[in-house]
Amino acid sequence: MTVTILAFGIAKDIFGASSIDIELPADALASDLKLLLEDKYPRLKQIRSYLLAVNNEYANDDLVLDSRDEIAVIPPVSGG
């Protein structure tokens, strides 16, 4: 399945785009996507930390992804 990943802050700089498409096996977990992203964009491993958000909620590593999910990479936040 193809999923679209939204990127913000430093993640947008690392991807060079505000969204990217990634090919994932069916029933992939959030942790699988993280490994794939880190493999494709090694600079992700150099930032302090990052989380995935799925459908506007922070996602645990064991969450099963669906092609209809809205997925975003959330680097360390710094609002306020």
Residue ranges binding other proteins (CB under 8 A): 6, 8-10, 12-13, 46-48, 53, 56-57, 72, 74-80
CB of residue 15 to other proteins, shortest distance in Å: 13
Q: How many CA atoms lie within 13 A of 1 on its CB side?
A: 15
How far apart are CB 27 and other proteins at their closest, in Å? 24
Give the three-class secondary structure for 5: strand
Cβ distance to other proteins smaller for residue 40 or 45: 45
- The three-point CA angle 28-41-18 to 5° equals 85
